[in-house]
Amino acid sequence: MQELLSAAKWTHQLFVGGLFILALLNIYFIKKEQMFHELAKQIEFLAPQYYLLLAAILFTGLLVWTVEEFVIKIDVLTMLGVWMIIFITSIIKYQKYKRVRIKDMEGQNSFKNFAKKKYILDIVLIFSAAILSYVL
């Protein structure tokens, strides 16, 4: 059981690291000067991977929590809250992306602004949740 716990914890942290890197990559692509249709290709490539990592983080997190018999701890509640915020803002971002039209420059800029802020928030939240869990 101890081996399962440490393997699940390790993979959980690996997926968290992956999500952090993907959030950074998203910001890089949004900031990079380029045509919107090029950015759209990168968004369509990265979005499924982001969701996959979120699912993997939830799965491994729940696995660890089950082994720990669902003990309520501040760090775990924070992680759950952070996960929910990232998940919900990802859905909102995708809805906004779907509404952007090819020649609508204003809509494209407003989407880019929203996406940039969303990924900066994700990075801050992931970093804070990770630090909190190491400190507590």
Residue 1-40 contact track with ligand HEM, rule CB under 6 A, x = bound? --------x--xx--x------------------------
Q: Report how far residue 65's alpha carbon sits from residue 49's, in angstroms, rounded to the nearest whole number.
A: 24
Q: Is 53 in the site for ligand HEM (CB under 6 A)?
A: no
Q: How far is the CB of 77 from ligand HEM (least distance, A)?
A: 9
Among 80, 120, 121, 123, interactor with ligand HEM by CB under 6 A? 80
Cβ-proximal residues to 13 (8 Å cutoff; 6+ apart), any chain: 130
| Between 73 and 117, CB nearer to ligand HEM | 73
Q: Report how far residue 56's alpha carbon sits from residue 131's, in angstroms, rounded to the nearest whole number.
A: 20
Among 22, 26, 39, 61, interactor with ligand HEM by CB under 6 A? 61
CB count in 10 Å sphere of residue 64 = 19
> What DSSP element (H or E) covers 60?
helix 36-67
Q: Report how far residue 38's alpha carbon sits from residue 9's, in angstroms, rounded to the nearest whole number.
A: 37
Binding site for ligand HEM (CB under 6 A): 9, 12-13, 16, 57-58, 61-62, 64-65, 68, 73, 75-76, 79-80, 82-83, 86, 126, 129-130, 133-134
